[in-house]
Structure 1
Amino acid sequence: MIGDATALRFDPILPWWVVAVLAGLALLVAGFALWRGLRGWAWRGLAGLAAGLALAGPALEIGSRTGLSDIVILVDDRSASQDLPERGDQTDAAIDGLSRQIAALPDTELRRVTVGDDPDGTLLGTAITRAVAAEPDARLAGVIAVTDGQIHDPAILPQDMPAPFHVLLTGREQDWDRRLVIEEAPAFGLIDQEVSVRLRIEDQGDVPAGLQGRSANLRVSVDGEEELSFAVPVGQSLTLPLTLTHAGQNVVQIGFEAPDPAQGDAELTDRNNSAAISINGVRDRLRVLLVSGEPHAGERTWRNLLKSDAAVDLIHFTILRPPDKSDGVPVNELSLIAFPTRELFLQRIDDFDLIIFDRYRVRGILPPDYFQNITRYVRDGGAILVAAGPEMASVESLNLSPLGSVLPARPTGRIIDQPFTPELTEDGRRHPVTAGLPGAPDGDDGSASDGGDGWGRWLRMAEVEPDPQAQVAMTGAEDKPLLILRREGEGRVAMLTSDQVWLWGRGFEGGGPQLEMLRRIAHWSMKEPELEEEALLADVSGGMDVRFTRRTMQDSAGPLTITRPDGETEELPLTEAGPGRFVADWTAPQPGLYHLQDGDLRRVLALGPAAPREFEQTVASADTLSPLVQKTDGGVVRLSDGVPDLRTVAPGRSAHGRGVARDWIAITPREAATVTGLQRRPILPGWAWLLLIAGLIVAGWLSEGRAGRGSPGGGGLPNDAAGAGGRG
């Protein structure tokens, strides 16, 4: 479309105020002449105005215009909820049909915007706002969105737009869905204490009559263990009590069985029928009982370690006066506290997470029944740590008590009194209790693998024979076992066959990682997840990227079997990253619950939100988009009734209606144009203005001259007077 646009412009020769003064003087002179009754005042006034107009420099400005095409924005919603039954085919048909109709319109361009999945849901508002802002208002003829109406950023939608906004709604009017809603779930919970999850099951859309008012069968599983199932009412909030059994991540999977399709139309999807919640299990406080058989230099080492940890509740008893000591002092004159053996080892023993026997001798303080109860405590999940001294090789050794059945080694009765440097075994380099200890020696000269001076020496240890099922993590003199670890039933037992660890704390010959090693031994005994020797860890760095770490005492691991939320499986090879540590990087294809397995080791991993946000609302609805549709005189059309026809209407008229066969929607042609050229032509050239002004002045002079010759006061006498004189 090409055309010309003409406009009058002024380019004054003198300042505008000078031109205005001259025009005013001309009008004043003409007015004065009119007042005096002089002929020719009009010509003089016109001459003055012509002079002022000439000084104003009038000119014609002629511009060449080129028409611009109209723009129609077509928003294509391809989020996950658009993959529900029939919606994909409806969207494809609508996009193809509208693209053809828009292409057939003259001077009309199509801008197609595709909206995909986002971690925050369907960001349809952001896509529409950006697309509208990118186009000039003068060219925008319409915006058409093909969507199910599920939008998670409604606040970003434009408040208004200069063209009609239409919504072509996918889905069907009879669609319905049942979903699980997690109303409240804790991020942390105390181990062995009850936590609560509040949830409800709700129906959306046109629920079949056969399913209205009926209960749902809820299933609950923690860490992939056996499911618990029970019936719950639909549409009512309920509180689900759970008890966390271990520290670290506890994955709670909650779901319900899909409704029976025989009762009516099947629900839209079962992807919102379950949710995965990660609750981090933490200990309220670690309760530790430390029993020192006698005062010695290393006693305070244990006390300082445990008291420095604010998460540890420590009860420490040191036996200062054993029952077999006879010094003649009456008991009622002693200021010592009696050892509450019955309360500690019978009544309250299960309250402790760890019991440490530090150089403890069997002297009759604890009867055999008490040791049997300690053995039961270990096999039921408790932990024992024995820090032995010379008493281990004597007749007062704990190994000779009923507790000896769970200890990881048997003493030979020999004490090795010679300096030695503790060293890690092959198992020790793999076991998380000792792996990576700072300054660990790696060589015959005792030098450290990290370039340091290595560890200081100890001076004494007891010789023991380890149990075949135990793991020797460190050795001492003559390569004899120094640190032995063993699982017993559900519990843990650790044994340190020397009482010289305090030498590291004093810095003897450079010292060593005393506090770090003792902390790891104690925390491994209390089953802290980061110190498990057989473990599968998943570090979610961000989004769907995961790094798997497999810790094992074996020489190899993997491949890791991953079961996706949709039931498909894949195998991921693991690469050795260090002794007993294998890693792999992986990107999950979608949010959801993943089951991991390597041999007998299983784990559940939850990625993304507790339930996919895209499926929180699945029934198609235009409620969120309707205000913008109404403001722009657009329309909402269900694609289940067919793809609407596309028309053009004038701005201000309704852009939606019902035709003979189907609905129609309309766009408003804008007829926008841009100026491509500009010319300026004076109305009259300078000489023409001079002729015009001069002609008007001459016309005024002639008008006055004619009037003067015919007036009574001219040069001759009146006719009557002349005639009278003649007769006389």
Structure 2
Amino acid sequence: MSTTILFDPLLPWPVLMACFVLALGGVALALWRGLSGWALRALGAAVILAALAGPVWQQEDREDLPDIALMVVDRSSSQQLAERAEATEAAADALATRIAALPNTELRRVELPNGQGDAGTLAMTALANALAEEPRARISGLFLISDGRVHDIDNAPDLPAPLHLLLTGQPEDWDRRLIVENAPAYAILGEEITLTLRVEDQGAVPEGLDRTEIEIAVDGGAPMAFQIPVGEPVDLPVTLPHGGRNVLQFTVPMAEGEITDRNNTALIQINGVRDRLRVLLVSGEPHPGGRTWRNLLKSDSSVDLVHFTILRPPEKQDGVPVSELSLIAFPTRELFLEKINDFDLIVFDRYKRRGILPSLYLDNVRAYAETGGAILIAAGPDFASADSLYRSPLAEILPASPTARVIEQGFRPEITELGQRHPVTAGLRAPEGQEDWGRWMRQIEVTEQAGNVVMSGHDGSPLLMLDRVGEGRVALLASDHAWLWSRGFEGGGPQLELLRRLAHWMMKEPELEEEALWAEPTGQTLRIIRRSLTQDVGTVTITSPTGETAELPLAETDPGRFEVLHEGDEIGLYRLKNGDKEAVVGLGPAAPREFVETVASSALLDPVIAQMRGGVAQLHQGIPNLRQVRVGRPAAGRGWLGLTPRGAFETKGVSRTPLLPAWLVLLLASALFIGAWLREGRR
């Protein structure tokens, strides 16, 4: 029960003050005039003013509420190192027991797991959420059992009570981590890039560890080992081995006494891109399709095009002196002997043998393809003639042979069943608003010998054939009328997209490989993709960073494209295998945020703890005692931590009794004023 006197004035306080001034003036006037009843008049005025102030005797029926102590227990990954988990559990149980022994105090316990993804330890967020669920006026103390490595210190709440940190870890703890200071997302193939790495030691580092070994592996291959200094930046020159995603893994072996090796690995994914693609286009004679090839290749800013059109073959003798010709000589020796390997693709557009390129040069072209080059033949009627390129050393690598028949009638190109699965032709559609592509008017009849037929023409005969020869690639387009699509004949067709894909497939762009395995990470999810020309690819084997394996079936989502989703529980390097195809992919950073800094420290939390004069207790020195201290006093000392009693209560009922009821005011005021009148009347 609590009692107090309150005032509930009948008039506003300014009016009451004015009345008081008038009453005081009247009493002063009576005193000045010598009236003997001035004292009684003053008492009467005081009674009336007191009644107008409305004094009330208030009684409250209160129920005391217990204080609340919040305890946040850090269960993040860094708290599982060494013996921290056991120390944390023991400290939480002991602290709960000591809080329960305090008078009028309750405990709220919050378990703190890892943040979603790679968010780390969100201790301040957990503390803010816990405070939002409790009345701030009842919070007497906050306790955090952790290694101090929180990752949301900017979200620290405004504290209503002292915050204490019970710090896990041992004074002799030390750790080594690998830091990548500089790594580009893209790099040009064949050009050297520089990565900057640094090995950093933290904590109580033993003496004599000024150098360490580092292992470097590319795409999960066999690692290479080097010796580097500790604590100094190291510039590492790297040349990417292939286009597309290159996964580089750097690993520092675990040293003796180190508390973890989870931050001894750095995973870098760099996309290899070509600087310039050099293409040699040789047109046997001027024709409408020649400009189509030229426009396509020139429209790509990454392509350097060298184009020759043979306008004056040897048999053309019109008597014009050579010195007066405005044509340049075809540099056959320079192109086909000396610099042939400088080109990524050679295109023969309606070219036929005229003695300009001797068999020796064409044999060199064949060797160029077998050793990794690419040759595309856009065949016209010349391919079916006796001067065909097939009647040369190139016949050994061509996927089809001509029958000498030229089909001069309209047909609509169609994608074969195999072509529906091949990335060069998969998904090609008719122009918007049309059901079919426009017709081509000429096709060279050929007999398939090798490779894959991805497009067919007249009566289903092969139109576009693709083949791999040795380390290179060869394509044969058995028509010179692809340009009709670019002119919009009968609605046209996807000519530019087809020829672009064809050229880039021949130049070995990774996204157009017909047999490929890769994965696309999104958060903790891996989308595993297998592209294949076969109908069934079976299962994919996934090896996690910890060495655990799992087999997942691949389902066909589009012709030639198989996918499966996998939730990665661990962050690091995953290995994928399907048949003879292997791939590696990094999920998140190789060293999660929880393991970037692992040596226990209160440095981050010290400013927050200082807000309400809290303290830090080292658990290896024992569990501190608890005391109750007044608000504003130091809340921590040697071997103890303090809580501030809040004295919160809940009001069950309130009763009010007027101290000056109206009848009493009337009686007292009347008696005093009448007494003053009588006294003054007798005088």
Above 0.5 in TM-score?
Answer: yes
Pairing 1:148-547 to 2, within 5 Å after superposition: 148-158=147-157, 161-209=159-207, 211-213=208-210, 215-259=211-255, 261=256, 265=257, 267-439=258-430, 452-468=434-450, 470-540=451-521, 542-547=522-527
CA distance in 1 between counterparts of 2:437 and 2:26 reads 118
When residues 385 and 64 of structure 1 are mapped into structure 2, their CA distance, relative to the original with a 3 A threshold, is same
Two-structure CA RMSD over aligned residues (Å)? 2.3
1:314-348 CA distance string (max 9 Å, x none): 22110000123222222111111211223322333
Pairing 1:92-131 to 2, within 5 Å after superposition: 92-118=89-115, 119-131=118-130
Contact 1:10–1:57 (CA<8 Å) still a contact in 2? yes
Which residue pairs with 2:612 in the alignment?
632
Unpaired runs of 5+ residues, structure 2, are none
The TM-score, its normalising length taken from structure 2, stands at: 0.94
Deviation at 1:528, TM superposition (A): 1.2
Contact 1:11–1:59 (CA<8 Å) still a contact in 2? no
Contact 1:93–1:643 (CA<8 Å) still a contact in 2? no
Deviation at 1:141, TM superposition (A): 0.4
1:28-64 CA distance string (max 9 Å, x none): 3332333344433212221222222223332223333
CA distance in 1 between counterparts of 2:200 and 2:347 reads 53
Contact 2:571–2:590 (CA<8 Å) still a contact in 1? no
CA distance in 1 between counterparts of 2:17 and 2:216 reads 92
1:682 aligns with 2:658: yes
1:137-162 CA distance string (max 9 Å, x none): 3211011001111122222224x533
The TM-score, its normalising length taken from structure 1, stands at: 0.89
Unpaired runs of 5+ residues, structure 1, are 441-449, 709-728
Contact 1:421–1:456 (CA<8 Å) still a contact in 2? yes
Pairing 1:641-680 to 2, within 5 Å after superposition: 641-658=621-638, 663-680=639-656
Larger radius of gyration: 1
Which residue pairs with 1:726 in the alignment?
none
CA distance in 1 between counterparts of 2:223 and 2:103 reads 64
Contact 1:287–1:354 (CA<8 Å) still a contact in 2? yes
Contact 1:431–1:533 (CA<8 Å) still a contact in 2? yes
Deviation at 1:463, TM superposition (A): 3.1
Q: What amino acid sits opposite 1:641 in the alignment? A: Q
CA distance in 1 between counterparts of 2:87 and 2:149 reads 16
Contact 1:27–1:49 (CA<8 Å) still a contact in 2? no
1:691 aligns with 2:673: no
Amino-acid identity (%): 55
Contact 1:26–1:44 (CA<8 Å) still a contact in 2? no
1:609-663 CA distance string (max 9 Å, x none): 35322111011111111122233222211222333333323333333334xxxx3
Q: What amino acid sits opposite 1:457 in the alignment? A: R
CA distance in 1 between counterparts of 2:633 and 2:676 reads 59
CA distance in 1 between counterparts of 2:667 and 2:461 reads 129
CA distance in 2 between counterparts of 1:5 and 1:362 reads 117
When residues 692 and 453 of structure 1 are mapped into structure 2, their CA distance, relative to the original with a 3 A threshold, is closer
CA distance in 2 between counterparts of 1:30 and 1:506 reads 115
Query: How many residues get paired?
Result: 681
Pairing 1:555-634 to 2, within 5 Å after superposition: 555-609=535-589, 611-634=591-614
CA distance in 2 between counterparts of 1:590 and 1:648 reads 44
When residues 528 and 17 of structure 1 are mapped into structure 2, their CA distance, relative to the original with a 3 A threshold, is closer
Q: What amino acid sits opposite 1:347 in the alignment? A: E
When residues 507 and 703 of structure 1 are mapped into structure 2, their CA distance, relative to the original with a 3 A threshold, is closer
When residues 431 and 691 of structure 1 are mapped into structure 2, their CA distance, relative to the original with a 3 A threshold, is same
Task: Please identify, of 123-132 and 619-628, the stretch whose mean Cα deviation from structure 2 is larger.
Answer: 123-132
Which residue pairs with 2:138 in the alignment?
139
Residue of 54, 59, 63 corresponding to 2:56: 59
Deviation at 1:680, TM superposition (A): 2.1
Indicate the SS of the match to 1:426.
Answer: coil
Task: Please identify, of 590-599 and 47-56, the stretch whose mean Cα deviation from structure 2 is larger.
Answer: 47-56
Which residue pairs with 1:33 in the alignment?
30
When residues 700 and 366 of structure 1 are mapped into structure 2, their CA distance, relative to the original with a 3 A threshold, is same
CA distance in 2 between counterparts of 1:29 and 1:282 reads 102
Deviation at 1:521, TM superposition (A): 0.8
Q: What amino acid sits opposite 2:557 in the alignment? A: A
When residues 618 and 30 of structure 1 are mapped into structure 2, their CA distance, relative to the original with a 3 A threshold, is same
